[in-house]
Structure 1
Amino acid sequence: MQISNIKNQIQEFKISKNILGIWFVILVLSGCATVELAPRQTTLSGPQKTIQPSRGLYHRVRKGQTLWRIARIYGVSIEEILKANTIADSTLIASGQSILIPDTPRALSLDTSTLPGVNGERSRTMDSLNTGVSEDFIWPAKGKIVSGFGDKIGNSSSKGITLRLYAQSDIVASASGRVVFAEEKFSGYGKTIIISHPEGLMSVYASLSRILVKPGDYITRGMAIAQCGGLMHFQIRKGWISQNPYYYLSR
């Protein structure tokens, strides 16, 4: 009986923790709470050196692959890949490009029958590797990018991507997940939907003209969740921290 009670308490704690995280995101979006959304960069005086990992392997990018997918394949963070390759613009990653994967247990445990590498390092494509990586994120709509992640908007920086769409364009779920928030009048964002995905990721769809889903609905990737004409704002967050959508979306 005691074991059953403990299990119930643990489950209730997990649910409460998840709800707390979701509401914190909502508070941040509405301006009722503030957090440091990205690590601060410290500028050091004098000459600087880029420290590269002493070991690792090179991954040859396939068409449509994103930094998020590559990071998941090898069990490393996007930040580690960025630092190892000094990648400043993720939109410039191209099919056939070789990217250094830092020395990690996951990377080293993979089959090392490789293609000719770069600078003597090992290189591979992922044609025959069963990675078990979940589905990719897709663009929520087709339109012209008006502002990108980090672009200056007034006195602040954009935390997502703003698209200009045709009238009554369908907005689709960027990835499968559960609707945790759908509000007709959300402060500063208008009609807004938030979908929760595995691994603490959330996608935010704002400035919509019509909402087609409600909280609690389970949505599959590519399913229409809203309509919009004009400008539509899209974000991807991990917990309450805004992510660069370009790391997750294939271009």
Structure 2
Amino acid sequence: MRNIPVSKVFGSAVMMFLIMIFLTGCATSDRTGKYPPPKFKKELDSLKSNTITQKSTRYTIKKGDTIWRIANNHGVLPDEIIKANNIKNVENIKPGQQLIIPRGVTVSSDAPERMAPVYNRNLNESFQWPIRGKILFGFDKWIDGYMNKGIDIEAVNGQPVKASKSGVVALTSDTPDGWGKVVVLQHDDGSYTWYAYNSRILVKKGEYVIQGQTITEAGGTGRAKQDKLHFKIFLSGVPVNPISHLR
């Protein structure tokens, strides 16, 4: 799959597919790998006036905030905030907690859409199951003292995990004591999908993938006690029940 020079567009700009993600633009039946490359618009110059500093700044977490929403509002990548603050579990952030925001870029409320890479979008593309298997743990269920903000799907080690939607690889990471090998996709409509506990990552940050493309192999890395896939969907920076959106 052809790598898209996303880094030139993102820089200190907002990710929008993610996830990844990271989103759509190809028909679900298209598996040829000939997906037309994303087209970017030169719209960053008009946002220069929104930049207040190129140094790190601090942000106090508010109720309802997520790492993705905070990153989006400050024009940085989620993994930059995660690394700068040594965050082990992104779901454990609390209101009142202070975060270091690398580079400290603040953008206006209408900037995320304008700063994002602009693709030829097919916003009708729905989320597809990344893997088929028994649901081990559902959304909003307690697991080992944590509220599950995704679903855990039973898998076989090495089982192919597919991109739920077309988009850009916004993040890959490996945390042995946490989510294990993780891929996050940013999609063209601003949504994100998260794939954790993988045994192997097959894509690179900045790569554009199409819906149904194999992006990882399932496994039991991190704190997983068995082979499975932990899958999340984020809409407007908020985790939602994947079951309500998967087709």
TMscore range, shorter length: 0.5 to 0.7
Deviation at 1:31, TM superposition (A): 5.2
CA contact (8 A) 2:191 2:237 kept: no
- Matched to 2:127, the amino acid is F
Deviation at 1:239, TM superposition (A): 4.3
Residue 33 of structure 1 corresponds to which residue in structure 2?
93
| TM-score between the two structures when normalised by the length of structure 1 | 0.52
Instruction: Give the number of aligned pairs.
Output: 152
SS at match of 2:76: helix
Residue 9 of structure 1 corresponds to which residue in structure 2?
48
More strand per residue = 1
Deviation at 1:238, TM superposition (A): 2.5
Query: Are positions 1:236 and 2:201 aligned together?
Result: no
In 2 relative to 1, CA 213–223 (structure 1 residues): closer, same or farther, beyond 3 Å?
same
More helix per residue = 1
Deviation at 1:142, TM superposition (A): 1.2
Query: Are positions 1:135 and 2:125 aligned together?
Result: yes
Query: Are positions 1:195 and 2:192 aligned together?
Result: no
Distance 2:44 2:91 in 1: 38
Share of identical aligned residues, percent? Answer: 28
Alignment equivalent of 1:247, drawn from 222, 244, 247: 244
Deviation at 1:240, TM superposition (A): 3.6
Deviation at 1:12, TM superposition (A): 7.6
- Matched to 1:148, the amino acid is G
| Aligned ranges 1:1-251 → 2 under 5 Å | 7=46, 9=48, 17-20=74-77, 23=80, 27=87, 29-30=89-90, 33-34=93-94, 133-185=123-175, 188-229=178-219, 230-250=227-247
Deviation at 1:15, TM superposition (A): 8.4
Q: Provide the alpha-carbon RMSD of the alignment.
A: 3.4
Deviation at 1:248, TM superposition (A): 1.1
Deviation at 1:170, TM superposition (A): 0.1
SS at match of 1:141: coil
| TM-score between the two structures when normalised by the length of structure 2 | 0.52
Larger Rg, first or second structure (1 or 2): 1
State the structure with bigger RCO (CA 8 A, min sep 6), 1 or 2: 2
In 2 relative to 1, CA 156–35 (structure 1 residues): closer, same or farther, beyond 3 Å?
farther
Q: Deviations over 1:41-98 (max 9, x none)?
A: xxxxxxxxxxxxxxxxxxxxxxxxxxxxxxxxxxxxxxxxxxxxxxxxxxxxxxxxxx
Distance 2:158 2:45 in 1: 50
Unaligned runs of 5+ in 2: 1-42, 53-70, 97-121, 220-226
SS at match of 2:195: strand
